[in-house]
A and B are shown apart, each in its own frame.
Chain A
Amino acid sequence: MKTVRTVYQLFFLALFFFLLYVATYDRLAGYPVRLFLDSDPLVAVGTILSTGALYRALWYGLPILVLTIFLGRFYCGWICPLGTLQDLVAVLRKVKVSRDIEINRYRPIFRLKYLVLVAFLTMALFGVLQIGLLDPIVLVTRAMTTSVLPAVDRGDSLVFLSPREFQLGWVAGSLLVAILIAAHLMPRLWCKLLCPLGALLGLCSRWSIFHIQRSADACDDCRLCAAHCQAGAEPDKRLRKSECMLLLNCLETCPTKAITFGPTRSGVLTVPGPDLSRRRLAGSVLAGLAAPLLLRSRASVVENPRPQLIRPPGSQPEPEFLARCIKCEECMHICPTNVLQPSMTEGGVEGFWTPVLKNTIGYCEVNCVLCGEVCPTGAIQRITLDQKQGRGEYAGKPIVLGTAFFDYGRCLPWAMNRPCVVCQEVCPTSPKAIKTDEVEVVENGRRIRLKRPRVEPSLCIGCGICEYACPVVDRRAVYVTSVGESRSKKNRMILEESPK
């Protein structure tokens, strides 16, 4: 049985990496690249609480929840890529029965994950969605996208079409590395101690009809099962149903075949749920309640727009965006220009790791809507090219990300009387949002004719290619800020002409 489980685990891990591999402009070709995120039950439950709805394919997570109610945490043991990665690390451990009984035993601190889950879900109820910080699928996707894969890719199109860089990508990668090191010291420590998805599934499996059980008559108390149970479920005593991950190591190692998997037999006692006292739960709820109060103020999210908080095309208004974004970084993975970056300070504490545009690294391609295509939660809405470019039924209303501004103290034709206007050349709108005025200046008695650029704000879509292409590379002479973004009614600057 353990072999069967391992085969499933490796299959799902391979599938996970394959779907990451095909999530590029060239390879996309209809593959369900969001599959693991779409079928993540915690993403479903979290976004139901934060938005009151299920976006696109997020209902895929619900059958997994239902199946868990019958079978227990099969997802943790058989599907979860982070679980498999930890198991692969644990293979390197030396097995020593007496020591492993101690290492693998249940510890009361393992209830922490339930408290973390309750706190996260309470926040979600108030529109603060932070489950993605610790959700295993999100966490691995993020670490792979912003840290591991960019490090593996040497510019030979092995993973990405061109080499990638992500600001402070190593933070997400280090969390993954820390989890794997911990798994070497204590198998699946992450799952047992902190994983909020594991906690959600654990809460569901308290009712599971099928589970591991030990026949006291056949058992000779050798405790081999306790040494091999990497979930801390205590199969040698009363099974802790909420902890069991269906790894089936106990089943495999039991010399007297006293352990079986099936519907509850009479006389078999279990510990169905985690030992959560009301006091602890109340503390957790309070912590969850504090988060929206501490992290978010209306002033920071709505009233005082942040200039560097430039969201991808199709993004919801900021409060709705934050209620949906799980920080999985799929949008950054698929973005062909690398412009999407994990927010550090741009989006505030609450927006940490959410996508923002950094136009010094890339720019938003007018002919691309892939970020909205892969976003599993609709923080970035699915849009059409007509919608983005303002064509067809959206004529004259393109999606605007921000507005470009010139730093005339650094712009070559303005500050140094040198011709340039690369910004005007690359501006993709028609008519161009960067205009040039022809001037004649006299320098050392010599007449120089120059074209000096300026922005026509009613035409600028904030794509940032002017900033990207500006030759003043250290601090660009033209740059985009968020003012004028379509998604906000407050972050406005110019008086629009009234529609006739």
Chain B
Amino acid sequence: MERREFLIQTAKASAAALAVTGVGAWLAHRAPQGRQAPYHIRDYSVSRDVLTKDFVVARGNDINEMVEAAVRAMGGMEKFVARGDRVLVKPNVGFDRPPALGATSSPEVVGAVVRLCLAAGAREVIVTDNPINSPNACFARSGIAQAVTEAGGRVYHLAERDFQETAVGGVAVGDFPVAAGILDRADRVIGIPTLKDHNLSGMSFAMKNWYGLLGRGRNRFHQNIHNVIADLAMMIRPTLVIGDATRILMRNGPTGGSPADVKPGGTILVSTDAVAIDAFGIELLARSAVDCPSIALAAARGIGSADPKALRYEEVTVA
């Protein structure tokens, strides 16, 4: 073998050896080592000190005016959303139902909230939910997709890859898959629950709305539903909750199905406290707190207040 040929052969062999080592090391590094640490959800709440009120009830007919007036009474959207923030909005879009059936949040309320966030300088407003029915159909039929797009926000459909094991650390829920990626990118989280009857939990409203950020397996939660709902209220410390009681699904919830199940409500509730919103909501549903045990459970754990009127409370009426 000539020297020249020998050198070339050696160089090739060395390159091959290096490549194999490199790829091997990279692959070994890629392999999951032990258990991945679960995700921890940030606290998105703002300090009470900067707010003028803790709980505002707006009554009227013009939904846009009601939302604006209520948020203004709290201190204005600027108190909640800073310039350049990414806002995650979570309405209830659980079912493929038209708005009149009251199974989903009103598109007008969602649109108004998106507009307020953008007016306050939000860089991006993302609206999401993990519905029971097909996401595309739910967002389209509920009118929320159109309302969000027209207001300048963006609808995001959650897929399997968005869910990540998350430390909930509650009484009933330990670690569970939650839409962690989208929460992680958000600076602010605003819930827009809609007030509905629910056979097992007594009511579906502010605390239960966070169900829509949970992934596969959540159908087991009915087995301990009141504690699970309180756990959800602990898991998400929202920036703001806008309770939609502009129409109320009085029975046959949470799906509804007939206009006869729906009653006009003419009410918007705004607070940073989901427990207080639920406590107010159960009365709008013509029930008492004992019918919805999650309220007392959450209040006892100090997650929020079961007595909204004991907070800095205000009612506004919009003509």
Most buried by A among B161, B200, B260: B200
Residues of A within 8 A of B286 (CB): none
Per a CB cutoff under 8 Å, which of B135, B160, B254 touches A425? Answer: B254
Per a CB cutoff under 8 Å, which of B95, B223, B252 touches A431? Answer: B252
Q: Is A39 an interface residue (CB 8 A)?
A: no
Q: From residue A477, how far is it (CB to closest CB) to chain B in Å? A: 12
Per a CB cutoff under 8 Å, which of A163, A336, A425, A427 touches B222? Answer: A425
What 0/1 pattern do residues 366 to 380 of A give for CB contact below 8 A with B? 111000000000000
What 0/1 pattern do residues 244 to 263 of B give for CB contact below 8 A with A? 00000000101111101100
A 151-191 contacts with B by CB, 8 A:
155-156, 161-163
Residues of A within 8 A of B220 (CB): 471
Residues of B within 8 A of A161 (CB): 134-136
CB of A420 within 8 A of CB of B132, answer no
Q: Is A268 an interface residue (CB 8 A)?
A: no
The size class of the interface chain A forms with chain B is: 20 to 34
With A and B bound together, what is the CA distance between A471 and B132 in angstroms? 14
With A and B bound together, what is the CA distance between A161 and B140 in angstroms? 14
With A and B bound together, what is the CA distance between A432 and B253 in angstroms? 9
CB of A425 within 8 A of CB of B223, answer no
CB of B252 within 8 A of CB of A419, answer no
Residues of A within 8 A of B260 (CB): 430
Residues of A within 8 A of B258 (CB): 430-431
Given contacts A425-B199, A469-B132, contact A419 B159 (CB under 8 A): no
CB of A422 within 8 A of CB of B222, answer yes
Given contacts A365-B96, A367-B96, contact A421 B200 (CB under 8 A): yes
CB of B159 within 8 A of CB of A155, answer yes
Q: From residue A384, how far is it (CB to closest CB) to chain B in Å? A: 15
Q: From residue B155, how far is it (CB to closest CB) to chain A in Å? A: 12
CB of B225 within 8 A of CB of A424, answer no
Q: Is B79 an interface residue (CB 8 A)?
A: no
What 0/1 pattern do residues 55 to 87 of A give for CB contact below 8 A with B? 000000000000000000000000000000000
Residues of A within 8 A of B36 (CB): none
Q: Is A98 an interface residue (CB 8 A)?
A: no
CB of B222 within 8 A of CB of A421, answer yes
Residues of A within 8 A of B183 (CB): none
Q: Is B133 an interface residue (CB 8 A)?
A: yes
Most buried by B among A428, A465, A470: A428
What 0/1 pattern do residues 410 to 449 of A give for CB contact below 8 A with B? 0010000011111011111111100010000000000000
With A and B bound together, what is the CA distance between A60 and B160 in angstroms? 42
Q: Is A26 an interface residue (CB 8 A)?
A: yes
CB of B223 within 8 A of CB of A419, answer yes
CB of A412 within 8 A of CB of B134, answer no
Q: Is A18 an interface residue (CB 8 A)?
A: no
Residues of B within 8 A of A26 (CB): 136
Q: From residue A312, how far is it (CB to closest CB) to chain B in Å? A: 16
CB of A337 within 8 A of CB of B134, answer yes
CB of A336 within 8 A of CB of B219, answer no
Q: Is A25 an interface residue (CB 8 A)?
A: yes
Q: Is A5 an interface residue (CB 8 A)?
A: no
Residues of B within 8 A of A436 (CB): 199
Q: Is B198 an interface residue (CB 8 A)?
A: yes
Q: Is A237 an interface residue (CB 8 A)?
A: no
CB of B200 within 8 A of CB of A425, answer yes
CB of A25 within 8 A of CB of B136, answer yes
Given contacts A367-B96, A367-B97, contact A421 B159 (CB under 8 A): no
Q: Is A454 an interface residue (CB 8 A)?
A: no
Residues of B within 8 A of A419 (CB): 200, 222-225
Given contacts A426-B132, A430-B261, contact A155 B161 (CB under 8 A): yes
Residues of B within 8 A of A418 (CB): 223
With A and B bound together, what is the CA distance between A163 and B136 in angstroms? 14
Per a CB cutoff under 8 Å, which of B132, B134, B198, B256 touches A25? Answer: B134
CB of A421 within 8 A of CB of B199, answer yes
Residues of B within 8 A of A155 (CB): 159-161
With A and B bound together, what is the CA distance between A424 and B251 in angstroms? 13
Residues of B within 8 A of A366 (CB): 96, 257
With A and B bound together, what is the CA distance between A68 and B135 in angstroms? 46
With A and B bound together, what is the CA distance between A451 and B258 in angstroms? 23
Q: From residue A38, how far is it (CB to closest CB) to chain B in Å? A: 26
CB of B199 within 8 A of CB of A420, answer no
Q: Is B123 an interface residue (CB 8 A)?
A: no
Q: Is B137 an interface residue (CB 8 A)?
A: yes
With A and B bound together, what is the CA distance between A469 and B132 in angstroms? 9
CB of A367 within 8 A of CB of B222, answer no
Residues of B within 8 A of A465 (CB): 132
CB of B136 within 8 A of CB of A428, answer no
Residue ID in chain A nearest B201 by CB atoms = A425
CB of A428 within 8 A of CB of B255, answer yes
With A and B bound together, what is the CA distance between A426 and B256 in angstroms? 10
CB of A365 within 8 A of CB of B219, answer no
With A and B bound together, what is the CA distance between A430 and B160 in angstroms? 31
Q: From residue B208, how far is it (CB to closest CB) to chain A in Å? A: 11
Per a CB cutoff under 8 Å, which of B134, B225, B255, B261 touches A426? Answer: B255
CB of B96 within 8 A of CB of A469, answer no
CB of B141 within 8 A of CB of A420, answer no
CB of A451 within 8 A of CB of B200, answer yes
With A and B bound together, what is the CA distance between A94 and B288 in angstroms? 82
With A and B bound together, what is the CA distance between A431 and B255 in angstroms? 10
Residues of A within 8 A of B222 (CB): 419-422, 425, 471
Q: From residue A293, how far is it (CB to closest CB) to chain B in Å? A: 43
Per a CB cutoff under 8 Å, which of A336, A424, A429 touches B136? Answer: A336
Residues of B within 8 A of A162 (CB): 134, 159
CB of B136 within 8 A of CB of A469, answer no
Tell me the B residues contacting A by CB distance below 8 Å. Answer: 95-97, 132-137, 141, 159-161, 198-200, 219-220, 222-225, 252, 254-258, 260-261
Q: Would you list 10 pairs from A and B whose C-beta atoms are within 8 A, ordered by A residue?
A: A156-B159, A365-B137, A367-B141, A412-B223, A418-B223, A419-B200, A425-B200, A425-B222, A432-B255, A470-B219
Tell me the A residues contacting B by CB distance below 8 Å. Answer: 25-26, 155-156, 161-163, 336-337, 365-368, 412, 418-422, 424-432, 436, 451, 465, 469-471
Give 6 A-B pairs besides A430-B257, A471-B219 with Cβ atoms closer than 8 angstroms. A367-B137, A368-B137, A419-B225, A424-B199, A431-B258, A469-B219
Question: Closest 6 CB pairs between A and B?
Answer: A430-B257, A430-B258, A336-B134, A471-B219, A367-B96, A430-B252
